[in-house]
Structure 1
């Protein structure tokens, strides 16, 4: 699908990846953005012992799943807002987008987070002047859908 923002894609990708990668919490957990397009943000996370939520079963902590859905959804909201600000120079866009924050997050856990790694895909449902809404799907490395989420983000 053509969005009309393809010419801004390198700027969008660089700004979003830089913003997300610099957050200390994201670094601590180990989540990394692996793909940014005008229609999709994808993040990966390797399983680490420090992220186990149930030491008996060895499954990923639900808070980590929720965090990945939130960060990926927030990154997708950034992409949508970045595209809407195409008339503003790059530095001002980045300053405005630094204020993006989560208003609401709903996560449905569908199965335990078992696996050697995980990834989440987020898409934009709506990007308005003030608020963006995203949908995220969280998978393990065997492509089992473990959780889904809907996030609402303040963007303006």
Structure 2
């Protein structure tokens, strides 16, 4: 069995409420994508990770807290990214004012991800995005299996 087959297809990491957490989260996701051979949509994924983590840092993480990034490579080859924070409120897109400084990141996520949304957690929320087709190489190689096989999340 090769190393790629043995890799877990789930990863998570916790980040503190500090600016350097955003590039660290991108590096974490980039490393996972590299390990999983998921380069097809890497730029789109990393841009969405930047937006999601920036939103968490600026709007969702109270002082003294942090946020968690979770990645799943699902059995059908779909990559799911979740950013968990403990802040109140629900993210909203802003498209009414071209000079608005808030809400544009969600517009980018809307355009780049195949699906995205916001879920509840206690305390806080989960912002998630899914990307199909970025893991096609693993799927074609047969290293992804269904829920009972190696690599299931």
TM-score, structure 1 as length reference: 0.38
Structure with higher RCO (Cα < 8 A, 6+ apart): 2
TM-score, structure 2 as length reference: 0.38
Q: Which has more strand, going by share of residues? A: 1
